[in-house]
Structure 1
Amino acid sequence: MTTMLTGGNYGVLTEPATLTIERLLPGPVERIWSYLTDSELRRQWMAAGAMEEKVGAAVEFTWRNDELTDPPGTRPEGFGAEHSMVCEVIAIDAPNLLSISWGSTGGVTFTLQEKGDEVLLTVVHRRIEDPSVRLNVSAGWHAHIDVLEARLRGRTPAPHWDNWVRLRTDYAERLFG
């Protein structure tokens, strides 16, 4: 993908059950790649979990969203302090492409494309069939990428849960009007 989608920082449905979200981040591409593949760096914006960089490798992601920001914001009802999911590396072409299975959905693909001093991160999450899951996933990817961008730019991220709740409301309007 060579051009930005029209959603700004917001993800858009590029197919009925496929969310695509793009964000320009400060490079170089190897730096962004390390935040996707290194457990210690990834846990700072999304989820921990050692990842062997080869097709077929299992990775157990563990989310501790209360630890992403200080303060964390108010965790919504129904969410626990920790959540884990075992995924598998489906495709990898370091440092530009990483595809991972993702629960009952069609998986997630991260692509990185250099744009001068910045890197275009594109996240494509396929086959999110359940509309309520699609809503939570859309707000989730956006909120997690907000934390990543803030960290990469040397800024303090907004409280994660408060941002997620606000974004969930925004995505409800955008996706379901």
Structure 2
Amino acid sequence: MTDPGHEQRTVLLERNLPYPPEKIWRALTQPHLLEEWLMKTDFRPDVGAAFSFSAEWGAVRGQVLDAEPHRSLSYTWGDDHLKSVVTWTLTETETGTYLRLEQTGFPADQPRYFMGAKAGWPRFLDKLEQVLAGEEAGQ
């Protein structure tokens, strides 16, 4: 029997974006662009590279697990109490890119992290779309 305290929850978001994968990849991996839609960071898309994201509310630490330019990016995301994995998948479509975000590893007995991610990621993705649109307009 499974211990309910060890069950894992996942946040999954999907969007069809009217931009090529290369453009979205830049927004997911370049610190100056990440800061515009997510948080301040020293991120670099090199497997094994450690990084942090910081905001007014605190900080998140991570390490790059996988980076396949223009296709997929995966990294750990957490603090002293949360050990999760964020995976971005980019699939080119006729009209742009299908973007899939999956964050796994939320313990069922820590709903605050899961609820925070469920509420936060849609807002972050909205900001990402604004950054992409601004870049498209040459801003």
Same fold (TM over 0.5): yes
Alignment match of 1:125 (pick from 63, 81, 103) = 103
Q: 2:76 aligns with which of 101, 117, 122?
A: 101
User: For 2:83 and 2:31, how far apart are their aligned partners in 1?
Assistant: 22
Give yes or no for the alignment of 1:59 onto 2:37: no
Residues 73-152 of structure 1: matches in 2 within 5 Å?
81-103=56-78, 104-129=82-107, 130-152=110-132
Greater length-normalized contact order (CA 8 Å, ≥ 6 residues apart) = 2
Q: Show the counterpart of 1:41.
A: 33
Letter in 2 for 1:144: F
Question: Aligned runs of 1:160-175 on 2, under 5 Å?
Answer: none
Within 2, Cα distance between the matches of 1:93 and 1:138? 26
CA contact (8 A) 1:98 1:111 kept: yes
Structure 1, unmatched stretches of 5+, are 1-14, 64-80, 155-177
Which is richer in strand?
A: 2
Percent identity between the two aligned chains: 32
**TM-score normalized by structure 2?**
0.81
Q: Distance in 2 between matches of 1:150 and 1:111?
A: 19
Counterpart in 2 of 1:175?
none
TM-score relative to the length of structure 1: 0.64
Q: After the TM superposition, which parts of structure 1 deviate over 3 Å for at least 4 consecutive aligned residues?
A: none
Q: CA RMSD in A?
A: 1.7
**Aligned partner of residue 102 in structure 1, secondary structure:** strand
**Paired positions, count:** 123
Q: Secondary structure at the match of 1:150?
A: helix
SS at match of 1:127: strand
